Chains A and B, each alone.
Chain A
Amino acid sequence: MNNIAITFENKKNNVLSIYFTAGYPKLTDTIKILEILQDAGADMVEIGMPFSDPLADGPVIQNSSTVALKNGMSIQELFDQLHGMRTKITMPVILMGYYNPVFKYGVENFCKSAAKVGIDGLIIPDLPIDEYLANKPIFDKYGLCNILLITPQTTDERIKQIDNIASGFIYAVSSYATTGSGKALNLSAQYFEKLKNTAFNNPVMIGFGIKDKATFDNACQYANGAIIGTEFIKLLEKYGADKTKITEFIKGVKGNDQ
């Protein structure tokens, strides 16, 4: 069974996933941050593969990508860094990034390298459904889940289609916004109710606009868990890969649910 499925099997609620950009703030921080997050109690992580033109991201994550690229991060460098991570990291690790670098690396090549270092799933937001389905045999061959996004504007029919072909979990974007825009959650009550009342095949994680215990707890009432990205990048921007600060942050979000 895939590592992501096992996580949701063992824990149905309050699953906390953290997003951070590979090679940020320093090139060599990737593994260090992974280890700190696991020790602090994060349930899974999404490692962002930096891209020059991140369409769906707001200024905070854009900036982290720019810095990471300047630091020398690349897909090859990331695979080199992740080599051997499974001796220490047991939680699910997902790679998230835009399609062009994956396409350039070669989809099969990419999946092969990802599986080899122990990656469990992929989030490629700009991979169209048709091209995803065309490549699905490759993703399946290497045991990689494909997490697909839905938004408040995704029609019921399309949600059903996405739920049928996605694996791992459904990434429910909490509002129509780029990452870190801060306007999430205000407009979402109705949408969250809909998420709660829809019978999904996959677990659902809410992302965009989750930044602290209150927003995390709120999102967890309607889904299996939630994802924090921008707020965590802001912390890294301020303190670097600081074990104490990161641990404080994760424990603060999770509260008593350790």
Chain B
Amino acid sequence: MKNVNYINESKEVFDVIVIGSGITGGWAAKEFCEKGFKTLMVERGRVVEHRKDYIAEGKGPWDFPNRTKVDNLLVEEQYKIQKQCYAFHDGTKHFFGNDRDLPYNTKKGTEFSWIRANQLGGKSLLWHRQSYRLSDFDFAANKADGHGNDWPIRYKDLAPWYDYVEKFVGISGNYDNLPQLPNSQFLPPFEMNAPERAFSQQMASDFPDKPVIISRCAHLTEPQKIHVELGRMKCMARNECQKGCSFGAYFSTQSTTLPAAARTGNLHIAPNSVVESLIYDEATNRLKGVRVIDNDNLSQREYFGKLVFLCASTIGSTQILLNSKTNKFKNGLANSSGVLGKYLMDHNYNARTTADIDGFEDEYYIGRRPASLYVPNFHYEPTRYHKNFIRGYALAGGAYREDWQSYGYTDGLGINFKEKLMHPGQWKIGLQAQGEMLANRDNQMTLHATKKDKWGIPQIQFDVSWSDNEKRMMESSVEVASKMFEKAGFKNIQGQATERPPGIAIHEVGTARMGRDAKDSVLNGYNQSHDIPNLFVTDGASFASSAVVNPSLTFMALTARAVDYAVKEVKNRRL
């Protein structure tokens, strides 16, 4: 890429070190670079260049050795966990972490599916791109019902930063004007198909508290100047995003924040640099830099900076802090509160309800929409809680015509069967629950006492389980979705709660939470460490609750706000 300085050895003291290059790290680097800070982005994995390294893009299924399926032996040896992700296939596997090289442990009797993406761009290449603001109900929920520590911020603190990042990212969506799901700065929404539109209209009168809207996603439906300048183009509705998108139509580090950071001339990247720990100077109570193990040859080196923005993913960032033990911080850096690693959360995607829709035989669609139907959380304040659980869930899904992908399991042979294959069939609809997970002190990650990875870094041990609250929520979602389908006149309604482990929603948050009090939180309301002023953690680790909505847009807004704050603190010589 033009204007990026890739470095290996350097004694330079950078204005800021950003650890990680995913959604959060990309935003931190862009903001600092644009503010004139000489920025070093430290990435543990290889360089992935926009366009050039999207090696599976533009291929039909027939171009893959196993028609997009991944070789057994390879899965068995290297991708046993990663294969659980819906987007894992032969065209995307090179953007997933390697389970053999990245081992971790779970406490006996528990499971945790940890999906990794250790390369430049991180999970921004693989994410599902659904983008929602948290509402004031979300920020106030912990205080309102007493579960979890109060967020030190409210919606009004973040709203201008949502505005700011959304214009740059490009979020498609409809102005639905819902109190529990604030509007974003929208590009035009994706369309609903015909049965979806009919369903949405009917639900508006039958279940006014459960509006069926089109989802909001980080895709350019109508690129603006700010996007085109970066070489980004309109979304082509391929929905093969995780192979990489040369149109730059969805937000990724590569398509969006990296070129913006690079054009300032201030961006430096140290790839293949696995951060082992942070360098802490007790005399000044400041970080001085990072200790790095080379990803390939395992040699050690150090980088130096005046500020450290830890954006290595929820689990990655906390792992680095836990592994940075000093005389003062014997249980991990910035951990005077003792809550570092605790209150790990994910979203619970453990219920799906489906049905058949009669009619609409003359209706079809063109393109593969990267958006879905969405029913925002309707249990969004204590007076609206269900009697069997606290907090709530959203429903997401959509209607489609059944086709050859399921016909292989049906009866029929010969010319008639072939004729059936060649045409779309029955309309179907599905709604998947996306439930909030409560902040629970017992759900935690720690460093394993003896096991290390190949870089010599202690492996993580997870101890995370769903509580009964989360399970009851899933059962309820099936009842609610079934009632909606019944009212709509849909047939063959089926739904059930499943038992997939935490982690697989890939919305892990918490473990270095924000809070007002240094005694029970790691970060203040600006994502700044209570203990060490020049340390910021702006990724999902900072969350005080999981809320219901997809978290990435909030990572971006929190990061842009934290950079703005840090820059002002530096300019005012307080940092």
Do the two chains belong together in a single complex?
no
